[in-house]
Structure 1
């Protein structure tokens, strides 16, 4: 059985669920660095957008009953591969030890101002 997870604390769209819980796992959709309090991107730098995208993922995980420590995989999609070092700079502060598995790839769509999209899979209660 699958359960749709949603929260007003992260960006949403009628085109996808923020997350789906199924089989003891939470699958968080790719989320960008939009600050829901302003409705705008959190900033123009890769660090600012990475920070906000991770905060958005954390909000969805919380809504699903999962903790940050329950994350098993993270997928990072970069608009510009040259932003890899800057993304890693912020990312490392969120996972200081025993990080989850991760992949990084190029974002395949052009979204105005968007530098990064981050998705996750985690264990659920």
Structure 2
């Protein structure tokens, strides 16, 4: 099922804000855009990170999920010097510490410095720690 909410920026191309399949929600890359204006909220990496996370959160809410349900996140930044600032804001929102990748890339749409996409799922079974040594 395609997910669309007015509480997050409209897609900038031919894709959905998210796709929900069974218990999974795949959220497309979100920039630090103001949902009302479609413009970058600030030139500061911290503020872009905060807004990108809020956009992801709004989309997850439409999927009846929250940031606590995120199992995989991918952060995109254009300047590795912003990593500490981005990481600081990220840690405020993701206390559950999902798996995460970081991509440093040359450029993003709207000259953004930061973007985020996530995969979230419903269910408590993925929060249990597994010890494969016992198998």
Q: CA RMSD in A?
A: 1.6
Larger CA Rg, structure 1 vs 2: 2
What pairs up with 1:52-67 in 2 under 5 angstroms? 52-67=51-66
Give the match's secondary structure for 1:41. coil
* 2:9 counterpart of 1:11: yes
**Greater per-residue helix proportion:** 2
TM-score of the aligned structures, taking structure 1 as reference length: 0.89
Structure 2: any 5+ residue segments left out of the alignment? 124-135
Could you tell me which of 108, 114, 117 is aligned with 2:115? 117
- 8 Å Cα contact 1:35/1:41 also seen in 2: yes
Higher relative contact order (CA 8 A, sep 6+): 1
Tell me how many residue pairs correspond in the alignment.
122
The verdict on how the C-alpha distance between 1:6 and 1:106 changes in structure 2, with shifts beyond 3 A counting, is same
Give the match's secondary structure for 1:89. helix
**Greater per-residue strand proportion:** 1
- 8 Å Cα contact 2:68/2:96 also seen in 1: no
Structure 1: any 5+ residue segments left out of the alignment? none
What pairs up with 1:1-125 in 2 under 5 angstroms? 3-13=1-11, 14-95=13-94, 97-107=95-105, 109-124=107-122
Deviations 1:41-67 (A, max 9, x none): 111110000000000000000011112
Moved more, 73-82 or 105-114: 105-114
